[in-house]
Amino acid sequence: MCPGEGAVGGAVLVGDALGAANPFTGEGIAQALETGRIAAEAVHDHLSGRCPMEVGYGERLREAFPHRNDWLDWLAWLAERGGFRMREFWEVVSGRVGSVGRGLRAIALEEKPPAAALAGADQHLVQKSWAKAEEIIRSRNPMLAKLLSSVREAHPREAGGVPAEYWKQAREHGEGLDGPLALADTGGLGCRGRWGRGGKLGDGAAFAARPLGRGRALAGNDGRAGGGDVWLTGGAHPGGGVLVRARSAERLCGSAVAQRTGAFPRATQAPANPHTGCGDDRSRVAARRRDFLRRRLFGRRLGSRMNESLLTHLIRTVSWSYWRSHSVRTVLTMIGVGMGVATVVSIANISVSVLDSFRKMIDTLAGPAHFEVTNWGAGVDASLLDEIRSTPGVQEANGVVEAFVPLADHPEEQVFLFGTNFLESNAWEALFPSDAVHIEDSLLFLSQPDSVAAQRALLERAGLKTGDPLVLLTASGPAEVRIRGEIEAGGSAQLFGGAVLVMDLPAAQRLLGKGNKLDRIAVIVEDGMRADEVGERLTSEVAGRAQVGHAQGRGERAELLLFSLRATLLIMSLGAVIVGSFIVYQTVGISVQQRYRILAILNAVGVRRRALLHLCVVETFLVAAAGALVGLLAGQVLSRVAAGPVGGVASQIWLRVDAAEHVSSTSGVLVALSVGIMAATVAAYLSARATLASPTVEALRPSAMTPDPGGLDARRVLIASALLSAVWLVALAPPDLGLAETVSLVIVTHSLGYAAVALIAPSLVQGAGWLARRAVQRSTGFASRLAAENLSRDARRSGATVIVIASAFGIATVVAVLAQSFENSWMTWIRQRFAADLYVGHGERVQLIAGPPMTRDLGERIGAVEGVAAVEPIRTPEGAWPVLSLD
Amino acid sequence: MLGAQIVLVSLRLVTGWQLTLTFPGMELLIGLVLVALISAAAGYVPARIATRRSAQAVVAD
């Protein structure tokens, strides 16, 4: 048998001893496992008399690594031809140049590297060709030269190779063994005498030890164990230098092959091994294994801390080490979780802030009144005021006129003009506290019809002071008032950002053209009187002339008007939850997938998959919790920043609200934290489970990748189609459902839509990859062809990105379609309903707070404008669609 | 489709409003272009950073 075929004497070389490592990267763990599996099968064939070891192993190696000589061809080709251009490189990468091309393609696309099986003897040839090839490449292709030289500098040992030493030691050990065969690896042969116990590690061992802490993963390099017909030597048994190979070799020899053939002598039939517990009962084996692993993996200090769980140790050693060595990746994961949480928190806070501001405005304006007497938009006759005051049980009744009026100098700013006898009544103490209202001459204030008192915030904003004139745009044109008072605090300061003017009632009536009308009469019931009885008396008193309602009823009516706003915010919140969940899921999923090799190595060294699953979940929980806290803070800041603009939009569409006062939504915070942490944990669980479900050998391949199944997944497409169809099931809902039920139904059906997108996303990626490959089929551009090849390499991971973008864009589309449809329908309704070319309104969108009615004089003036054919007066009842008034 | 469902079904169920479905083509086209640009930037920036690392560092990592 020649050395290159992997067996000599009684020894079968595997892994590094065979030279089975990627010459570019020096990576050899996967090759060690794979050659171990091949060797085990060859050993089985040999023992069963089917095929001699000397023949079977070599054939199997050649079959498994058919392109190993391609590299020699390629290097020779490079050396002889002396030329290498990008186009040729692409030809090679695309696999058009036969076996040589497949070799390069494997490197470029991270497929199974054919160079992995370069035997030790082959490496000599590689070394001879290398210098010449590198010289040529360096002069012709800087990119490839950089790669080659960097790899060589990073792994000089691989480039150098010492196959002769391997073979020498293999012969010594192989011939001296009691059994007919031995599996050897550098852990047992190459390391012996050269690196020794606690000395320098091989690349594979160092890689295995890295997440655990250098030096901890290694024990003696010269252990021998086993029995029967098979000897496991050096790195091929758990006491050896490289636990990765040891565990896998044991598994391969002891279970996979044996169970399949039923003839191979199982490792468990051997005498009890002090390390592995082979041959012992299962519980003792498990206990010994745990003890062994703890001592080997985490050092002897663990012996004094036996109460500490394996999980805690894994987090302390593996996770902490990973977080520190990949701090940027860890921070990015936290940011991903934080973004999801921040999105939900900010939307919830904005929603609550807007609605809370609105409720406060209603409560403030209502004051201490128990009842309000109104007459829709027509106004209440002022003569009713005395009748109401004389009604038994009524302590106080105050007439009010109120309107939003623009400032002439700042038309974009509307001020709330509030007219009542605020100086004579204590009913408005909360709104205008007496110690906060500064009027130098009360007599002058009351006697002059143009007197107003203004909120200090408004004065500061407009650069005004007491005594200055102020021009308001009223229904009858610009009207000048004079500031004769200043209000520095109180409930009015909370209203509309302080844009509040207060006037004496008669002056306000005159200014707003109300005549003898009042917008409402606020009624306070005497202490000790039953409000219901007083309300009934008032109702009978004003019957036919006005309506009596509870003061809080105005808030309820207004909340009804704001229902569409609430529904919109609720749907936005839903979108935020979904998008946040996807962001968190995708971030964590990628984070776990990026660590699949570390997880596979841990599994290979003996940490059970269940423990790894727990490790992933707990570790992600910790990262997600930290990210969620950061997101919580970010969400608070974001909502403070965005509440103002959102409130402004709401003011323009519905009615004036001031969301500047920030309110934190407790339920929103809880939902956000739950969504963030749960989505992260579920993502970690699913990703880790998927990762750990693949065979360890596959996961440890340097080029391990999710295979592209090709084509569309018909089952996913069918389920997604069914879910999309189910979105329309909401149409079957009965019309008398309550608010909560209706909104819940809408949310559930929308969630089905997003779930459908999540299901179909990988198939979309595959479809896009297929199209891209077709599109660039004739292209000679390297980047485009490589991109097309890569597009569907990992459809599941790319699909997660698609889901995030699609869900975010979906939310935006829903809002855009809703807004556009609303505007279009509204304008269409106006055109059909009124059939006019121009509409003039008094400025109020919703007549929750009565606006100044337009005068007939204004209608006449509009009619006198050149080009106006007719003026048609319109008035709609309070509470209907936005009021259009024309005179 | 979700937008259509909201406008044609959900909104009528919740508020009683019957709106005509209008598709804001230009706004969504701008949104699509923005998403494409942002996605391209999201791929370009890390790729640029990655290519600045030496191949040796990448391989060693």
Q: Does B34 touch chain A (CB under 8 A)?
A: no
Q: Which residues contact A789 (CB under 8 A, 6 or more apart)?
A: A109, A773
CA distance A796 to chain B (A): 18
B11 vs A818: CB contact, 8 Å cut-off? yes
Considering CB atoms only, which of B3, B17, B60 is closest to A813? B3
Each residue of A171-198: pLDDT tens digit? 554 444 333 344 444 433 333 222 222 2
A813 vs B28: CB contact, 8 Å cut-off? yes
DSSP A580: H
A676-689: average pLDDT: 81
Q: By the 8 A CB rule, do A501 and A418 touch?
A: yes
Q: Does B39 touch chain A (CB under 8 A)?
A: yes
CA distance B3 to chain A (A): 4
A530-549: average pLDDT: 81
A816 vs B24: CB contact, 8 Å cut-off? yes
A810 vs B2: CB contact, 8 Å cut-off? yes
pLDDT at A717 over 70: yes
Predicted-complex ipTM score: 0.86
Q: By the 8 A CB rule, do A400 and A518 touch?
A: yes
Considering CB atoms only, which of B1, B9, B59 is closest to A25? B59
Considering CB atoms only, which of B14, B20, B32 is closest to A743? B14
Q: In this prediction, what percent of chain A has a pLDDT beyond 90?
A: 0
C-alpha A681/C-alpha A617 separation (Å) is 6
Mean pLDDT lowest among A332-346, A430-444, A457-471, A574-588 = A574-588
Give me the pLDDT at residue A415, please: 81
B6 vs A818: CB contact, 8 Å cut-off? yes
Which spans in A27-69 are helix H? 29-47, 53-64
Phi and psi (nearest 5°) for A426? Answer: -85, 0
Q: Does B35 touch chain A (CB under 8 A)?
A: yes
Q: Does B60 touch chain A (CB under 8 A)?
A: yes
For residue A810, the chain B residue with the least C-alpha distance is: B2
| Per-10-residue mean pLDDT, chain B, length 61 | 79 72 84 88 81 58 49
CA distance B51 to chain A (A): 11
A724 vs B1: CB contact, 8 Å cut-off? yes
Out of A164-178, A487-501, A858-872, the most confident range is A858-872
C-alpha A244/C-alpha A253 separation (Å) is 14
Q: Does B4 touch chain A (CB under 8 A)?
A: yes
Q: Which of A327, A820, A822, A826 has the most B C-beta neighbours within 10 Å, making it the best mutation to test the interface with B?
A: A820
pLDDT at A677 over 80: yes
For residue B15, the chain A residue with the least C-alpha distance is: A564
Mean pLDDT lowest among A34-38, A147-151, A266-270, A513-517 = A266-270
Q: Which of B5, B34, B37 has the most A C-beta neighbours within 10 Å, making it the best mutation to test the interface with A?
A: B5
B31 vs A816: CB contact, 8 Å cut-off? yes
User: Measuring CA to CA, how many Å separate B39 from each of A342, A584, A781, B46?
Assistant: 21, 18, 22, 11
A810 vs B4: CB contact, 8 Å cut-off? no
Q: Which of A736, A754, A817, A823 has the most B C-beta neighbours within 10 Å, making it the best mutation to test the interface with B?
A: A817
CA distance B19 to chain A (A): 6
Amino acid at A182: A
Give me the pLDDT at residue A607, please: 66
Phi and psi (nearest 5°) for A550? Answer: -65, 145
Q: By the 8 A CB rule, do B7 and A817 touch?
A: yes
Amino acid at A138: R
Out of A345-359, A777-791, A830-844, the most confident range is A345-359
Three-class DSSP category at A503: strand
Considering CB atoms only, which of B13, B20, B27 is closest to A821? B20
Three-class DSSP category at A47: helix
C-alpha A253/C-alpha A300 separation (Å) is 29
Considering CB atoms only, which of A154, A753, A823 is closest to B59? A154
Element (H, E) at A806: helix A795-834
User: What is the SS3 assignment for A693-717?
Assistant: HCCHHHHHCCCCCCCCCCCCCHHHH
Element (H, E) at A454: strand A451-455
- State the residue for tokens 């089985």: A44
Q: Using only C-alpha atoms, what is the Rg of chain A?
A: 41
Taking CB atoms and an 8 Å cut-off, how many pairs form between chains A and B?
A: 105
Q: Are strands A181-184 and A230-233 parallel, antiparallel or unpaired?
A: parallel
B31 vs A750: CB contact, 8 Å cut-off? no
Element (H, E) at A152: helix A142-154
Considering CB atoms only, which of B2, B35, B60 is closest to A154? B60
Q: pLDDT class for A699, splitting at 50, 70, 90? A: low
Give me the pLDDT at residue A703, please: 46
Q: Does B61 touch chain A (CB under 8 A)?
A: no
Residue with the larger pLDDT of the pair A553 and A75: A553
Q: Does B47 touch chain A (CB under 8 A)?
A: no
Give me the pLDDT at residue A118, please: 37
Q: By the 8 A CB rule, do A858 and A479 touch?
A: no
Q: Which residues contact A259 (CB under 8 A, 6 or more apart)?
A: none
DSSP A317: I
A442-457: average pLDDT: 83
Tell me the HSE value of A120 on the side-chain side, using a 13 A CA sphere.
23
CA distance A735 to chain B (A): 6
- State the residue for tokens 């997600």: A624
Quote the tokens at residue A438.
Answer: 């500064």
A828 vs B32: CB contact, 8 Å cut-off? no
Residue with the larger pLDDT of the pair A164 and A370: A370
DSSP string of chain B, one letter each residue: -HHHHIIIIIHHHHH---PPP---HHHHHHHHHHHHHHHHHHHHHHHHHHHHS-HHHHHH-
Q: Using only C-alpha atoms, what is the Rg of chain B?
A: 22
C-alpha A757/C-alpha A152 separation (Å) is 46
Average pLDDT of chain A to the nearest whole number? 64
Residue with the larger pLDDT of the pair A119 and A636: A636
C-alpha A638/C-alpha A349 separation (Å) is 9
Three-class DSSP category at A515: coil
Residue with the larger pLDDT of the pair A168 and A601: A601
Q: Which residue, A385, A738, A821, is CA-closest to A563?
A: A738
Phi and psi (nearest 5°) for A886? Answer: -130, 140
CA distance B14 to chain A (A): 6
Which chain B positions have a beta carbon within 8 Å of A733's beta carbon? 13
A151 vs B55: CB contact, 8 Å cut-off? yes
Which chain A positions have a beta carbon within 8 Å of B26's beta carbon? none
Q: Is the pTM of this model over 0.80?
A: no
Considering CB atoms only, which of A728, A814, A828 is closest to B3? A814
C-alpha A583/C-alpha A335 separation (Å) is 10
- State the residue for tokens 């889901």: A803
Which chain A positions have a beta carbon within 8 Å of B59's beta carbon? 24-25, 150-151, 154-155
Quote the tokens at residue A321.
Answer: 């080490």
CA distance A769 to chain B (A): 17
Q: Which residue, A197, A176, A174, A199, is CA-closest to A184?
A: A174
B3 vs A812: CB contact, 8 Å cut-off? no
B2 vs A727: CB contact, 8 Å cut-off? yes
Q: Which residues contact A509 (CB under 8 A, 6 or more apart)?
A: A382, A401, A419, A515, A516, A517, A518
User: Measuring CA to CA, how many Å separate A493 from each of A404, A437, A640?
Assistant: 16, 11, 19
Q: Which residues pair with A455 in a beta bridge?
A: A487
Q: Which residues pair with A398 in a beta bridge?
A: A522
Which chain B positions have a beta carbon within 8 Å of A567's beta carbon? 14-15
- Residue A241: Cβ within 10 Å count: 34
Residue with the larger pLDDT of the pair A596 and A286: A596
For residue A571, the chain B residue with the least C-alpha distance is: B6
C-alpha A759/C-alpha A802 separation (Å) is 11
Residue with the larger pLDDT of the pair A276 and A850: A850
Q: Which of B20, B28, B37, B59 has the most A C-beta neighbours within 10 Å, making it the best mutation to test the interface with A?
A: B59
CA distance A24 to chain B (A): 9
Which chain B positions have a beta carbon within 8 Å of A828's beta carbon? 20
Three-class DSSP category at A183: strand
pLDDT at A516 over 50: yes
Residue with the larger pLDDT of the pair A618 and A688: A618
Q: Count Cβ atoms within 10 A of the Cβ of residue A567 and give its class: 0-12 exposed, 13-18 middle, 19 or more buried.
A: buried
A817 vs B21: CB contact, 8 Å cut-off? yes
A813 vs B39: CB contact, 8 Å cut-off? no
For residue B60, the chain A residue with the least C-alpha distance is: A154
Amino acid at A113: P
- Residue A75: Cβ within 10 Å count: 21
Three-class DSSP category at A8: strand
pLDDT at A121 over 80: no
Give me the pLDDT at residue A35, please: 66
